[in-house]
Chain A
């Protein structure tokens, strides 16, 4: 018994839509049928076996080897099981996923976790722009779930997100948490300008003091936020990967806003690493 493994034979010239290769859709298929499945490749549809070597039989656990950024929509709409990607992936990682776990050991493109409503995305590398954000025309970005980025993130992390948690362990770009309706973004390294711009509600937690806070955020001073204690305790209970959160204390400089939008959101700049 081994995980269902797709090994890319060679780097594709065009983008390859990987959305059919999720545990939900493969559960009842034989290995032969999986090999014959069609994938949208550029303007054409090609069979899985023409691009991948397929092995394994545990269809709830999928591994994609030798991946590259041409592979898009990995884990799209999945609601069960796990996908592990070794290598980079393109845009729309975990788009609209409902449950399960996607882990990328590499970098991911833009729009990771857009529209997701549950589950967890781990990227052990960097991500592009609009992580957890809403697509143009969508009312909201992600509405639940957890996105954990070990590396850096591009601009507009969590734009218009409605619920859920995004953790950026590396640096974040500009407009982090812009226009968020609710939810929590935790940026553990430097962030770009205009964090929380246009936010209505929600929380942007910054472990490092940003170089710039918009004038439309009002300082509430340094406060001991019991919410932070709860959040960090809950996160460190999820698994060992988040144990480091137990070193963060509850004292934060709170900025409320965005007042330009009559917002009731907050930017919390952590003041101490020592638990009190």
Chain B
């Protein structure tokens, strides 16, 4: 199968179950909402070492936010509810509460919840105020810029992490140009994120290592400089491989994101240095969610 001369390898991406939440950050204006959103999604590229994966989902109009101010929705994924419980209060506390004029709300309704303002309220040192509106509880924490308003909890739902595809290109510049367009298209879909910096992984990993203390290490089969030394998956013309990893709320959303992402990357065609599209998998042993490239592009 080829799109624009780009070979679609007959393989599949392997994804695994995760837990996800969505938070809404509002501020005096979008600039300051972005400051907080960028801070909370910092160092949240992979659960391997960051504990969570997080990214901006989209901008929100004032009419879409609980307090009528401009906002940003951020999606946060983790391997378990326990991990979310651990990271949400610390990240909201250090990244959102410290950003001037912000407020933080839950963007997901569900029965299962993790604490947010419930933990952060203690920063108010006894001066915090609880308010219940429309069945939701909010905390007003007095801070130096005025008041930091934070919803008590945020909803948690089942999700899928690790949907991916690899862009095999002649040069890193050509690969990155294609990936940038792919990420732009994926970002138009609500309910999915690409958590790595710029949405692109420059150092995709495999599970395990020769070193026992390491859970993930470089994916040597896709390293251009290791061609000849290892059993490489790369042809002679491939000089750079970039990966786009997608976390989403369900299989259909990831399918959709992979589809638009791959099509966008392929739009550059073989003439502009895109050799093929592949995907990362672990032989079907890691996760129950398999995304066959050729199937989803039909």
Contact = CB atoms under 8 A, between A and B. Distances in A.
Contacts of B132: 144, 163-164
Contact of A227 (B65, B126, B134, B140): B140
A227 B103 CA distance: 10
B180 interface: no
Contacts of B65: 233
Interface string A172-189: 000000000010100000
Interface string B38-57: 00000000000000000000
A229 interface: yes
B146 A230 contact: no
A46 interface: no
Contact of B67 (A203, A223, A224, A230): A230
Given A237-B134, A238-B134, A226 B129 contact: no
A264 to B, nearest CB: 6
Contact of A229 (B68, B126, B127): B68
B133 A235 contact: yes
A253 to B, nearest CB: 15
A160 interface: no
B149 interface: yes
A224 B67 CA distance: 13
Nearest to B137: A163
Given A164-B132, A165-B133, A264-B129, A227 B66 contact: no
Nearest to B62: A233
B69 interface: yes
Contacts of B101: 226
A230 B129 contact: no
A58 interface: no
A: contact size bracket: 20 to 34
Nearest to A233: B68
A201 B127 CA distance: 10
A144 B223 CA distance: 61
A223 B146 contact: yes
B73 to A, nearest CB: 16
A260 interface: no
Given A233-B66, A233-B67, A233-B68, A227 B130 contact: no
B188 interface: no
A225 B103 CA distance: 12
B12 interface: no
Nearest to B140: A227
A250 to B, nearest CB: 9
B66 A224 contact: no
A227 B128 CA distance: 12
A273 interface: no
Contacts of A182: 129-130
Contacts of B147: 225-227
B277 to A, nearest CB: 44
A231 B134 contact: no
Nearest to A182: B130
Contacts of B196: none
A234 interface: yes
B127 A264 contact: yes
A226 B133 contact: no
29 contacts: A182-B129, A182-B130, A184-B131, A203-B131, A223-B146, A224-B146, A226-B67, A226-B101, A226-B103, A226-B146, A226-B147, A226-B149, A227-B131, A227-B147, A229-B69, A230-B67, A230-B68, A230-B149, A231-B131, A232-B68, A233-B65, A233-B66, A234-B66, A234-B133, A234-B134, A235-B133, A238-B134, A264-B126, A264-B129
Interface of B: 65-69, 101, 103, 126-127, 129-134, 138, 140, 146-147, 149
